[in-house]
């Protein structure tokens, strides 16, 4: 699944399935995916923006989502990394 349009909306919906397990992680991810999906607003986005989103979020997201058995401190650190990457993307106008 790529980080674009309908896939982002689908990911946001899937986050609801895990809110009871790790609310801080999945509510935050749902919020981010919804914001990015709204950015597409059924109009798509530029290749530059798509690449920036993918390159900026892919590794921090994978690192966070594979941290299920890690300590709370490690999960929080990885969630912070995702939030930093998201913040950086939102501060950069590549659309």
Rounded Cα distance between 57 and 66, Å, is 14
pTM: predicted TM-score of the whole model, two decimal places: 0.88
Q: Which residues of the chain have pLDDT under 50?
A: 95
8 A C-beta contact, residue 15 and residue 33:
yes
Closest CA to 32 of 78, 85, 75: 85
Gyration radius (Cα) of the chain, Å? 13
Mean predicted lDDT score pLDDT of the chain: 90
Can you give the pLDDT at residue 95? 45
Can you give the pLDDT at residue 93? 64
**Helix-helix angle 47-65:23-40, to 10 degrees:** 170
Rounded Cα distance between 46 and 26, Å, is 27
Can you give the pLDDT at residue 68? 86
Can you give the pLDDT at residue 94? 52
């Amino acid at each position: 699944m790529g980080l674009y349009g309908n896939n982002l909306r689908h990911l946001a919906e899937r986050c609801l399935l895990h809110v009871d397990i790790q609310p801080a992680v999945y509510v935050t991810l749902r919020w981010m995916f919804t914001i990015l999906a709204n950015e597409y607003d059924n109009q798509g986005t530029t290749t530059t923006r798509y690449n920036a989103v993918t390159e900026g979020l892919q590794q921090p997201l994978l690192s966070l989502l594979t941290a299920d058995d890690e300590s709370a401190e490690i999960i929080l650190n990885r969630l912070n990394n995702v939030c930093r990457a998201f913040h950086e993307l939102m501060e950069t106008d590549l659309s």
